[in-house]
Amino acid sequence: MRIKLLLPLAASAAISVYAYDTPTMGWSSWNTYRVNISDSLIMKQADALVELGLDSVGYRYINIDDGYFGGRDKSSGRLLFHPTRFPSGLKPVVDHIHSLGLKAGIYSDAGANTCGNFWDNDTIARGVGLLGHEEQDCNLFFKEIGFDFIKVDYCGADGRQSHQIYAYEPRDRYTAISNAIKATGRDDVRLNVCRWNYPGTWVNDVATSWRTTGDISPRWESVKRIINENLYLSPYAGGGRYNDMDMLEVGRTLSAEEDQTHFAIWCMMSSPLLIGCDLTTLRPETLNLLKNTELIALNQDQLGLQAHVAKLSPENTYVLVKDLGEKWGTRRAVALYNPTDSAYTISVTAEELELEGVTAARDLIAHTDINITDGVLSAAVPPHGTRVYSITGTRRIPRSIYEAEQAYLSSYQEIYDPIATGTAFYFPLESASGGMVVANVGHTPSNDLQWRDVRVDCDGEYRLDLDVTGKADGNLLLFVNNEAAIKLPVEGEGPRRLSSTVRLNKGTNTVRIASTGTAPYIDRMTVNL
């Protein structure tokens, strides 16, 4: 059973800001050209990016995807380049990209063959993947040629998508590749893991970004699916590491409203922004959207946070929110997202946004300041549409309700069957407070659930109420910060509330849930302030 989220779903004063690498911005060749690329095409796109002023708003990487390979030298194993697409090799192309003040990206595979070899019948690309050539290829890419980024696909290691039909363990392959990059002496190379599902929490120590879904296509259903699959992955982004929702299809075949939603949600989610269309034929409205500096600022905010679901309506529209500038500060970004086929008015109160005394509000798409009446942000949002705002208040209100789907699961992964592997997962449940629960906590001490930012304004004793449902036995184990476990009996099957009084420190606390037996579905925690 492979569980993915494909259905509609329902501190202290601000801490110091740290300077992290922000999500990668640039252009990539795959969406429009697949393997049909050349040295002149890549350089022409790089020139166009600068001529259009896209570099001035943050787009800096020109990424050469699949299609440049020319096999390997039979005696040395050295990687060769396509004799007609890149007759002079890759170095002149990279030098040209660098001469424009840009950075250069490259592509490979964790296995023996690439996706283009298998799916596009690019036969010259047989045996050109990193498997068995990690050190050799990384030295070539990053020491000799000077690339600054690499996307590493997984077709050649997947078994189902390679001619060798070998299957490898993703953690092993990507760790070996990461170590080979580090061994070159380059500490500025960005590694993108392209395994098509969230690989597991281990990836944070290996890569800069990682794909969380299958490939995107220029259709609304594809964009909607990818947004849906990322709605509850905010605990796994931040600190210079990002969930990658795939390259942008903006400017191809989506409607203007869908393009706007696509770009705005990628910005809210802090996904890498890699343009996938032909830059030489950009329409003015597409260029204006891609150069919307107020939306880009959300994506490039130094906190690097991914927006989370703050509110789900019965109509399956969403309010997404994230902090800007300071964690637990008074300025937040808010998106009103309507994935449905009907128009709806979406509303959210300042209190639901954890803000008091709203002093400023701005429409980041229309570039206009707005007034919020009676503390309610409201907008009519058309089908497939999104409206995005920044909201500033006088005070941040401590949160009292912590949904389980906003918690970090230490063993979370989307590659293997979570029941078979004994790993916790997010699960849609209509009766849950936010339309979601966490299932399968327990089995091992590390397979836990953590709310890492439980914030209170004062030291003291607080009652925690834990809402659960479903069959269970044994005890839930409640840990607060580094204190000893509190046992909470959970026998039963229906909805029930477990309570315990604990000591919380002023500022942020960590509340962790583990289990000695079969854990129930975990719905939410309430901190009685």
Task: Decide: residue 457, CB within 10 A, 0-12 exposed, 13-18 middle, 19+ buried.
Answer: middle
Picking from 154, 82, 79, 80, the residue whose alpha carbon sits closest to that of residue 115 is 154
Place of tokens 């259905």: 7
Phi, psi of 230 (to 5 degrees): -105, 0
The helix (H) or strand (E) run that includes residue 261 is helix 256-268
DSSP letters, 466-529, are EEEES-B-SEEEEEETTSPPEEEE--BSS-EEEEEEEEE-SEEEEEEEEESS-PPEEEEEEEE-
Q: Is 467 tagged catalytic?
A: no
- 286/180 Cα distance (integer angstroms): 39
- 121/118 Cα distance (integer angstroms): 6
Is residue 520 within 8 A of residue 470, CB to CB? The reply is yes
Side-chain half-sphere exposure of 14, counting CA atoms within 13 A: 17
Active-site residue among 148, 153, 158, 453? 153
- 517/7 Cα distance (integer angstroms): 29
Task: Decide: residue 164, CB within 10 A, 0-12 exposed, 13-18 middle, 19+ buried.
Answer: middle
- Single-letter residue type at 499: S
Q: Is 215 tagged catalytic?
A: yes
Active-site residue among 47, 120, 215, 457? 215
Give Cα 26 distance to the centre of its chain.
17
Q: Which residues are catalytic?
A: 153, 215
